[in-house]
Structure 1
Amino acid sequence: MPNRLSAPARARSTPAARPARPGTGPLPILASALLWGTTGTASSLAPGGAPATSIGAAALVLGGLLLFLTDRTAWSLPRVCGVRERWLLVVGAVAVVGYPLTFYPAVPRTGVAVSTVIALGSAPVFTGLLGWLTRQGRPGGRWAGATALAVLGCGVLVLGPELAGGGRAVDLLGVLLAALSGLSYAVYSLIAGRLIAAGRPSAGVMGAMFGGAAVLVLPVLALGPVGWLLSPRGAGVVLHLGVVTTFLAYRLFGHGLRHTSAQTATTLTLAEPAVAAVLGVAALDERLPAASWCGLAVLAAGLAVLTLPRRR
């Protein structure tokens, strides 16, 4: 992703100007999507009285603090950054908080499937538009074609069971909340990519943003019921979501952003619902209609277009 911030000359070789190798860019991002794909299966094992917003807040507090405390560059990053970069970190932290606070309330209104499609499907579009508007690079034809394929495949994959079962009434507020969660994801992905392209360490950028988000979301966790956290099942779910799907996944995501543009990264993370669907079939004995399997194939084709190296 092109860098428009002041940066050392050695940091000006950005992902947009330097094609990513699959082992350094796409693969870590696909690995993070694989970890995120376990979120639905893990959260379904939470105790019955645990609100979805509290589960998301608890996972963000644990994972965000781990990202911040395990990397020393995250502690010093706000001090060594300029004023503009500090504001970017603040906006990024707010955007990180915005994702769970908009996505989880959208789920009971529109359902998991529709919320997932709107949030993940809109994120690459928002990222491409915002990246273009902020002069971080205009998406190319390959990205546009691959994103269109991936979004289409994601929609057919996730909405297949909904369509087979007759669907449900559309809730406009739920749709808006899900779209806002996609916008939040796009914003903090772009900000992280911009700071990393400016020469800031990827682990430090993720640690600073998610550490700030953990502090911001603490009141949400404190004001909700917390008794479920004391049960072995509740603690196990939060440990998985905080350590695996937040700490490890965003470490990989930040590493991938060093070699891949945010536009491409958000498209690659559309692999998440594919992983979730396969896990549902394998671990929860769910069944997918034929349309969903076709959507999975289309999604895989779109991701392959972005992952495979370009022919010289």
Structure 2
Amino acid sequence: MMQGKTWGVVAILFSAIVWGTTGTAATFAPDVSAAAMGVGGIAQALVAARGIARSRTALWDQRRLLVIGALSVAIYPLAFYGAMRLAGVTVGTVITIGSAPLLSALIEYLLDRKNLTLQWSVGALFGLIGMGLICVAENLSHGELVGGDSVPLGVSLGLIGGLTYALYSWSARKMMLQGTRSSVAMGATFGLGGLLLMPVLVATGGPFLASWTNAAVGIYMAAVPMFLGYLSFGFGLARV
């Protein structure tokens, strides 16, 4: 049990590392970022297709969780990359990723009646202080608010991104606790979310082929952070 949990932690840390590269990568080709998540999500569904087909009855029974997760997957990249564009890479990333664990715990408290412990509260306080300090330091280093008047809107989008991140993590974890394999839960959630993102891909698909840089960024983001990162995240969610 402990060994499985250790590997789960390692898998989640790997996900965190590759996700940490998305903000910087997006600056090289901002128009392909959200669409790349859709491609990565559909790739996850294709890899897990046989398992999804065998679990179709269970997935139908879990359709409420599946829809919540898929909608969250579709909204998340739009909010996340919008936050980075309006508030800057550092602030957008810190708000989105930093708020997700706090919002995840609140979702568990409200929906699963899991009490918030003193340990969690202390950790959350330090997390909030850290998020604030990073944002302040980023602003001071530029001599002004990064992104100018768009920072408040960027922060708002970042919080929406954090909420949707927390929601699809919660829904996928609930599906796993109800007996669905992690690859099936993540593949179905991200596959359906990827399909919902297809209009974005159609609208912004041109930039994928606009330059070698755009193509390289799109392939990297779809294959590494979105595909490998979320496969590892699902593996970790089932064990941690």
Place the TM-score, normalised by the shorter chain, in its bin: 0.7 to 0.9
**Does the CA contact (< 8 Å) of 2:18 and 2:224 recur in 1?**
yes
1:253 matches 2:233: yes
Q: Distance in 2 between matches of 1:151 and 1:259?
A: 26
Contact 1:119 1:178 in 2 (8 A): yes
Which residue is equivalent to 2:12? 29
2:58 alignment counterpart? 80
**Among 217, 220, 231, the residue aligned to 2:200:** 220
Amino acid at match of 1:32: S
Partner in structure 2 of residue 185 of structure 1: 165
Rate the CA distance shift 1:230–1:79 in 2: closer, same or farther, 3 A. Answer: farther
Write the mapping of 1:27-106 to structure 2, written as runs, cut at 5 A. Answer: 27-46=10-29, 52=30, 54-71=31-48, 72-83=50-61, 85-106=62-83
Farther-moved stretch of structure 1 (249-258 vs 119-128): 119-128
1:25 alignment partner, SS class: helix
Deviation at 1:232, TM superposition (A): 2.4
1:68–1:208 CA contact under 8 A, matched in 2: yes
Contact 2:19–2:229 (8 Å) recurs in 1 = yes
User: Aligned residue for 1:306?
Assistant: none
Q: Counterparts of 1:41 and 1:174 in 2: how far apart (Å)?
A: 16
Measured against aligned partners, the alpha-carbon deviations of 1:261-304 in whole angstroms (never above 9, x if no partner) come to xxxxxxxxxxxxxxxxxxxxxxxxxxxxxxxxxxxxxxxxxxxx
Structure-2 residue corresponding to 1:195? 175
Letter in 2 for 1:91: I
Distance 1:126 1:37, change over 3 A: same
| CA spacing shift, 1:20–1:191, aligned 2, 3 Å | farther
The AA in structure 2 aligned to 1:77 is S
Once the two structures are TM-superposed, the CA of residue 247 in structure 1 deviates from its matched residue by 0.7
More helix by share: 2
Q: Shift of the alpha carbon at 1:204? A: 0.6
Distance 1:239 1:166 in 2: 35
Given that 1:20 and 1:26 are in contact with CA atoms closer than 8 Å, whether structure 2 keeps it comes out as: no
**Which residue does 2:137 correspond to in 1?**
160
Is 1:64–1:247's contact at 8 Å kept on the other side of the alignment? yes
- Counterpart-to-counterpart distance in 1, 2:4 and 2:124: 19
**Aligned residue for 2:101?**
124
Give the unaligned 5+ runs of structure 2.
none
| Equivalent in 218, 224, 229 of residue 209 of structure 2 | 229
1:231 Cα deviation after fit: 2.9
Q: How many percent of aligned residue pairs carry the same amino acid?
A: 36
Decide whether aligned partners of structure 1 residues 233 and 253 sit closer, same or farther in structure 2, where only a CA change above 3 A counts.
same
- Is the CA contact 2:40–2:226 (under 8 Å) kept in the aligned structure 1? yes
State the distance in 1 between where 2:74 and 2:122 align: 31
In the TM superposition, residue 147 of structure 1 has moved relative to its aligned partner by 3.4
Give the direction of change, closer, same or farther, for the CA distance of 1:26–1:167 in structure 2 (3 Å limit). farther
1:241 counterpart SS class: helix
CA–CA separation in structure 2 for the residues paired with 1:31 and 1:125:
20
Contact 2:23 2:84 in 1 (8 A): no
**Which structure 1 segments of 5+ residues have no match?**
1-17, 47-51, 261-312
1:221, 1:231 → 2: CA distance?
Answer: 16
* Shift in CA distance, 155/30, structure 1 to aligned 2, threshold 3 Å: farther
Aligned length: 236
Indicate how the Cα distance of structure 1 residues 45 and 111 shifts in structure 2: closer, same or farther if over 3 A, else same.
closer
What residue in structure 1 maps to residue 86 of structure 2?
109
Tell me how large the CA RMSD over aligned residues is.
2.3
Counterpart secondary structure, 2:6 = coil
Per-residue deviation at 1:87? Answer: 1.7
What residue identity is the alignment partner of 1:238?
G
